[in-house]
């Protein structure tokens, strides 16, 4: 009796841990250390150069996410970012993604300064989309936890621009 109850409890715990998390169409993937907790089921590019190559060869926009592990704003955004199933699905299906905890040598990726968290979109023609930005005038590419709706809208804009310009 106790054995059966423990078995049922174990099954329920295992099942509940999978609810609310994004699982790709191809099935659950092994956790990538490159995700740094931003979306463990997503495929992340390792370098900016690799991300540009994937973007161009797969004809998908690139989303570059700058953050720091010890930044409270980055940590808060990471939590809501990784828990949003719709956002994770869109990233998996329609974007090449890269997260960086260091700055790149490409000055186009910091058009208004080097702050975190910051999200920049790059199209497959390797053009940084400075026209896709957040809601702050002093940190144009910053997003906060309350800005996920705007981020999703900007992701749709990046996809639309891809179809209309290429």
Three-state SS letters, 101-157? CCCCCCHHHCCCCCCCCEEEEECCCCCECCCCCCCCCCCCCECCHHHHHHHHHHHHH
**Confidence grade of residue 79 (pLDDT, cut at 50, 70, 90):** very high
Distances (CA, A) of 133 to 8, 61, 62, 122, 152: 48, 15, 14, 12, 12
Proportion of the chain above pLDDT 90, given as a percent: 70
pTM over 0.75: yes
**Residue 18 pLDDT exceeds 50:** no
**Residue 128 pLDDT exceeds 50:** yes
Closest CA to 166 of 53, 59, 54: 59
Distances (CA, A) of 7 to 11, 12, 46, 98: 6, 9, 40, 40
Which pLDDT value is given to residue 16?
46
**Confidence grade of residue 104 (pLDDT, cut at 50, 70, 90):** confident
**Confidence grade of residue 13 (pLDDT, cut at 50, 70, 90):** very low
Which pLDDT value is given to residue 106?
86
Which pLDDT value is given to residue 17?
45
């Amino acid at each position: 009796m106790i054995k059966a109850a423990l078995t049922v409890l174990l099954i329920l715990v295992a099942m509940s841990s999978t609810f609310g998390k994004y699982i790709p169409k191809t099935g659950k993937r092994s956790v990538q250390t490159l995700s740094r907790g931003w979306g463990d089921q997503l495929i992340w590019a390792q370098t900016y150069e690799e991300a540009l190559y994937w973007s161009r060869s797969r004809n998908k926009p690139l989303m570059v996410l700058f953050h720091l592990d010890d930044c409270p704003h980055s940590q808060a955004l990471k939590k809501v970012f990784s828990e949003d199933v719709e956002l994770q699905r869109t990233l998996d299906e329609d974007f090449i993604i890269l997260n960086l905890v260091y700055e790149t040598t490409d000055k186009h990726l910091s058009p208004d300064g080097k702050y975190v968290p910051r999200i920049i979109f790059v199209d497959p023609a390797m053009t940084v989309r400075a026209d896709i930005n957040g809601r702050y005038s002093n940190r144009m590419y910053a997003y906060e936890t309350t800005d996920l709706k705007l981020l999703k809208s900007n992701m749709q804009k990046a996809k639309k621009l891809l179809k209309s310009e290429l």
